[in-house]
Chain A
């Protein structure tokens, strides 16, 4: 049991060490790629003073990640607010589903890079355009899972609603929502993952402060170590978000 625990700790660390070695080896052959050590030296100030603010983009990683997270939260919430009722409606009504399914299938694969200029045209400002891009890209898993969840409600529950003569509203609140919730949460988790992917692209294009904006600026300033720092931060934050949503989802499924 103890050995198993130790392995559960050591094996991932070994994997990380191997990836670090590969990075170090590659940096020997690609002159512009900073080694792990050099990356650490050049960017430790951003991690050791995570909430420092020295300039518009020159801020601690914690602060930059916070900006990005706030932007993601707003975009994701907007997407969820539109996507949840839309998904439930599509699941409840065959007519609506047939009407809108083709549009959804066409809109779904569009990249955030394509939505952003449209957002800029529509809203004129970069911040609402970024929110628009995040919401419109990230809501599809919520819509699709919500619809699938409603379709998966067992006939038994519909019969209960009929036999107890529940009103439409009661049926929705007491039966449709609770039985769709696990599906919705799977949708939210996937949506949040996408929202976090979109944030980098939208910050890069709009030049707003955040992890993505920082990355793009440091690339333009030829400070490559900071690009790596930003990449690692994005990955780490994304991982944490997914874990948090996964925990929420698991708690719901346990009921």
Chain B
């Protein structure tokens, strides 16, 4: 049995009395120590899936197990990094980390909790900004605090919800590298599921990339292994043959999903000139039934 198993998970939301399926029959298994990226377009239900896996939200059908136990809420051995940092603005950087540490390790003395928090902030390069509030930090620094907060919990499982999505391209590149180093630096086996809409990011960090189809009723496509040695660099990925293959594979997969999703959203009767270039509904129908 795999470490994390997502089996037949489905979820729908009801807005204005209209029920809209977001996830349909999602299956995924993750081995201990693996770094998995789920890549998909914005709004396709990636975050919902991650929230269900992490126990923040609950599925309508199917189940998630971690180490054989069914997930019924946020578990102790997990940490989560949100896209929008989600730091508490009235606490300093170290205060934010310490709040997490104090609940994860309640038996420690306050000095030990503070020292632990400080160590992780220093690890992400914030040793000189310990007592600054999030409002006094740049976006990149805030996300560093959030990453330090997650790692300070010494989690077995790390959930990353577009952790670099809100950052500018340069900052993002730096932070991706640092995250890769941080993951390698820990001597424990950390299992990571990351959500992203950036294929390069997924290539840089993951062992396996799983494309997600576009909603409504999104599901996961066949996963693509990334067997390149680490550490990887963005420059190296530009020229690597395997990187090229994986990238092409994933992007083709996603483009295909986008096309079929468009056809499904627009019934044939309302077809316009632009639809004529896209695959006929006949192709989409078996997919709809099959999903």
A residues engaging B (CB < 8 A)?
Answer: 156-157, 159-160, 162-167, 170, 174-175, 178-179, 255
For the complex, give the distance between the alpha carbons of A242 and B207 in Å.
61
Given contacts A164-B100, A165-B104, A175-B88, 5 further A-B contacts (CB under 8 A): A165-B103, A174-B88, A178-B88, A178-B90, A255-B90
- By a CB distance below 8 angstroms, the chain B residues around A178 are 88, 90
Q: Who on chain A is nearest to B133 by CB?
A: A255
A160 touches B103 (CB 8 A): no
A159 touches B56 (CB 8 A): yes
A162 touches B56 (CB 8 A): yes
B89 touches A255 (CB 8 A): yes
A-B contacts, 21 listed (Cβ < 8 Å): A156-B86, A157-B86, A157-B88, A159-B86, A160-B82, A160-B86, A160-B87, A160-B88, A162-B56, A163-B54, A163-B74, A164-B99, A165-B74, A165-B104, A166-B99, A167-B103, A170-B103, A178-B90, A179-B90, A255-B90, A255-B133
For the complex, give the distance between the alpha carbons of A78 and B257 in Å.
62
Taking the closest CB of chain B, its distance from the CB of A162, in whole angstroms, is 5
> Chain B interface residue count: which class?
20 to 34
With contacts A156-B84, A255-B89, A255-B90 known, is A163 near B79, CB below 8 A? yes
Contact digits for B163-196, partner A, Cβ 8 Å, 1 yes 0 no: 0000000000000000000000000000000000
Q: Is B131 an interface residue (CB 8 A)?
A: no
Query: Among A166, A179, A255, which residue has its beta carbon within 8 angstroms of that of B103?
Result: A166
For the complex, give the distance between the alpha carbons of A175 and B99 in Å.
11
Contact digits for B37-78, partner A, Cβ 8 Å, 1 yes 0 no: 000000000000000001010000000000000000110101
- By a CB distance below 8 angstroms, the chain B residues around A157 are 86, 88
Q: Is B35 an interface residue (CB 8 A)?
A: no
Q: Who on chain B is nearest to A175 by CB?
A: B88
- By a CB distance below 8 angstroms, the chain B residues around A164 are 99-100, 103-104
Q: Is B151 an interface residue (CB 8 A)?
A: no
- By a CB distance below 8 angstroms, the chain B residues around A165 are 74, 76, 103-104
Taking the closest CB of chain A, its distance from the CB of B159, in whole angstroms, is 8
Q: Is B80 an interface residue (CB 8 A)?
A: yes
For the complex, give the distance between the alpha carbons of A156 and B146 in Å.
13
Q: Who on chain A is nearest to B54 by CB?
A: A163
A156 touches B82 (CB 8 A): yes
Q: Who on chain B is nearest to A163 by CB?
A: B80
With contacts A156-B82, A170-B103, A174-B99 known, is A163 near B88, CB below 8 A? no
Closest 10 CB pairs of A and B: A163-B80, A178-B90, A156-B86, A164-B100, A160-B86, A162-B74, A164-B103, A166-B103, A165-B74, A162-B56
- By a CB distance below 8 angstroms, the chain B residues around A167 are 103
Q: Who on chain B is nearest to A155 by CB?
A: B86
For the complex, give the distance between the alpha carbons of A222 and B10 in Å.
81
- By a CB distance below 8 angstroms, the chain A residues around B104 are 164-165
Q: Who on chain B is nearest to A167 by CB?
A: B103
For the complex, give the distance between the alpha carbons of A114 and B193 in Å.
63
With contacts A156-B84, A156-B86, A157-B88 known, is A163 near B56, CB below 8 A? yes
Q: Who on chain B is nearest to A166 by CB?
A: B103
For the complex, give the distance between the alpha carbons of A166 and B100 in Å.
8
For the complex, give the distance between the alpha carbons of A232 and B216 in Å.
66
The listed residue with most A CB atoms (<10 A of its CB), out of B56, B76, B103, B104, is: B103
- By a CB distance below 8 angstroms, the chain A residues around B84 are 156
Taking the closest CB of chain B, its distance from the CB of A245, in whole angstroms, is 20
- By a CB distance below 8 angstroms, the chain A residues around B56 are 159, 162-163
B89 touches A159 (CB 8 A): no
- By a CB distance below 8 angstroms, the chain B residues around A162 are 56, 73-74
The listed residue with most B CB atoms (<10 A of its CB), out of A160, A178, A179, is: A160
For the complex, give the distance between the alpha carbons of A65 and B80 in Å.
56
Contact digits for B144-174, partner A, Cβ 8 Å, 1 yes 0 no: 0000000000000000000000000000000
Q: Who on chain A is nearest to B76 by CB?
A: A165
- By a CB distance below 8 angstroms, the chain B residues around A170 are 99, 103
Q: Who on chain A is nearest to B75 by CB?
A: A165
- By a CB distance below 8 angstroms, the chain A residues around B78 are 163
Taking the closest CB of chain A, its distance from the CB of B152, in whole angstroms, is 11
- By a CB distance below 8 angstroms, the chain B residues around A174 are 88, 91, 99
For the complex, give the distance between the alpha carbons of A160 and B96 in Å.
10
- By a CB distance below 8 angstroms, the chain B residues around A255 are 89-90, 133
Taking the closest CB of chain A, its distance from the CB of B105, in whole angstroms, is 12
- By a CB distance below 8 angstroms, the chain A residues around B86 are 156-157, 159-160
Q: Who on chain A is nearest to B100 by CB?
A: A164
For the complex, give the distance between the alpha carbons of A175 and B100 in Å.
13
Taking the closest CB of chain B, its distance from the CB of A30, in whole angstroms, is 56
